[in-house]
Amino acid sequence: MTRTSKLDREHSVTKAVVLPVLLFFLSGFASSQVAPPNSSREQENFRISVEVDLVVLQATVRNRDGHAVAQLSQRNFEVFEDGRPQPIRVFRHEDTPVTVGLVIDHSGSMREKLADVTAGAQAFAHSSNPNDQMFVVNFNETVSLGLPRGIHFSDDAKQLGGAIWGAPALGTTALYDAIIEALNQLQQGNSDKKVLIVISDGGDNASKAGLDKVLKMAEQSSAMIYTIGIFDPEDPDRNPKVLQRLARETGGEAIFPTRLSETVEICERIARDIRDQYTIGYSSTDQQDGAYHKVRITARTDGNEKLSVRARAGYRTGGAFQPSKDAR
């Protein structure tokens, strides 16, 4: 028996029936465009309840020149789970609010880079949806939340910049613990679409948790992870492969600027990327507890031109997202 999805304007998502792995903010299942709610309160309340087998993905589409492709329809896409084609049940293309965590490396090697990183974070905030919820996680060998006590989220670029600039850059690097803390914090946001932006050299020499723990939590969450690798060529702690893997597995992007001054432009581009994604959903036929499923999305124009699609590589079933205590 198939249970249908339903819109619910007055209540939060029912956690017992929501697929915990890949649920994003949607405003309906019809493929036609629908105008977004007029107020931020309506946007916060405009949520959906779905059956447990619904898998919803965010897809970034580019043409051969690397430009975003707009005005595609459902017929332009195909979805595969574990190599098997899946009928598309949800299709949207609109700018919706996001919960975003800015995860900023404050180890000693970042001391001279912090001003550019702060400027980049502020540029990201200015370029984002005005109803986005943002927070800051700062880390060296310890992990801390950057916003003032009692303030969980902010959309104020100046406040977010201060949350980064106000923390000293010294000590070693607990990258994995910081990402775990940020994944935990994402769950407190009202938006079902969730993103982390990690700015670091990618090295880790102080975490309690390991990379496997981080990847498993990311597979069980809906978070996309964008990484910006800022390091010197001779830096012994640099680890671009970790940053690349985090981005690839979650549908984000790993970016390595050649000049520190490029950070602002990169952060603005990430903000545009997040706002211009397609939302695509299908019903999984296998929800075996703990199973990992590979996902692939392809797209072509009406003229049969092959397009580049970036989305998360897969997801792991297994019940609601479980916050970890490893980070703090």
Higher-confidence residue of 291 and 324: namely: 291
Residue ranges per domain, the chain? 6-95+277-316, 99-274
Q: Is the pLDDT of residue 26 over 80?
A: no
Contact 192, 26 (CB under 8 A): yes
Average pLDDT over every residue of 123-127: 97
Task: Give the least confident one: 156-165, 204-213, 285-294.
Answer: 285-294
Higher-confidence residue of 32 and 134: namely: 134
Average pLDDT over every residue of 157-167: 97
Return the pLDDT at 319: 53
pLDDT bin (cut points 50, 70, 90) of residue 290 is confident
Q: Pairing state of beta strands 6-8 and 84-86?
A: unpaired
How many Cα atoms are found within 13 Å in the side-chain-facing hemisphere of 160? Answer: 26
Return the pLDDT at 52: 52
pLDDT bin (cut points 50, 70, 90) of residue 173 is very high
CATH number given to 99-274: 3.40.50.410
Which helix (H) or strand (E) covers residue 228, if one does? strand 224-229
Distance of CA 215 to the CA centre of its chain: 13
- The conformation of residue 209, written as its DSSP 8-state character, comes to S
Return the pLDDT at 149: 95
Contact 5, 49 (CB under 8 A): yes
Q: Which residues contact 199 (CB under 8 A, 6 or more apart)?
A: 102, 103, 104, 105, 117, 120, 121, 227, 228, 230, 263
Which tens digits make up the pLDDT trace of 179-199? 999 999 999 999 989 999 999
